[in-house]
Amino acid sequence: MNKGQVAIESLILLLVIMSATIYISGLYYQTHNSTLIYGIARNYLTEKSNSFEEVVIIESLKLEIGEVNKLKVTTSPDIYTNSDFETEKLEEKIVKNSILDNITVSVN
């Protein structure tokens, strides 16, 4: 074996390893629809809660995909409702920016 052949074999091996790494990491770093919905909802709800006089903490967001798509929001304190957060606008934003045709958002 001469030095030129070893160098070419090393480059081919490096190419295979790099290709596999790029392919596998691409599977793990995709932005899925649910991630997009959570991001839109978290951003919108944070903007709305900043307009309240009281500190509002968004405790959880739970997305249920099915025949009826639902996003359940839990806040602390739990005195706020859908009308306080104007959830209709959030629903429109989610439908516009995701693949869902409809979604219902409920707060507390």
Q: What is the pLDDT of residues 40-61, one digit of tens each?
A: 999 999 999 998 888 989 999 9
Catalogue the long-range contacts made by 76-85 (C-beta closer than 8 Å, 24 or more residues apart).
78/108, 79/108, 80/52, 80/56, 80/107, 80/108, 81/107, 81/108, 82/106, 82/107, 84/48, 84/52, 85/45, 85/48, 85/49
**Per-residue pLDDT band at 26 (split at 50, 70, 90):** confident
At residue 6, does pLDDT exceed 90?
A: no
**Per-residue pLDDT band at 2 (split at 50, 70, 90):** low
The pLDDT value recorded for residue 88 is 92
> For a pLDDT cut of 90, what percent of the chain falls above it?
47
**Per-residue pLDDT band at 8 (split at 50, 70, 90):** confident
Helix, coil or strand: residue 38:
helix
Which residues, 6+ apart, have CB-to-CB distance to 63 below 8 Å?
34, 37, 38, 69, 70, 71, 72
**Per-residue pLDDT band at 25 (split at 50, 70, 90):** confident
- Please list the residues that pair with 106 across neighbouring strands: 72
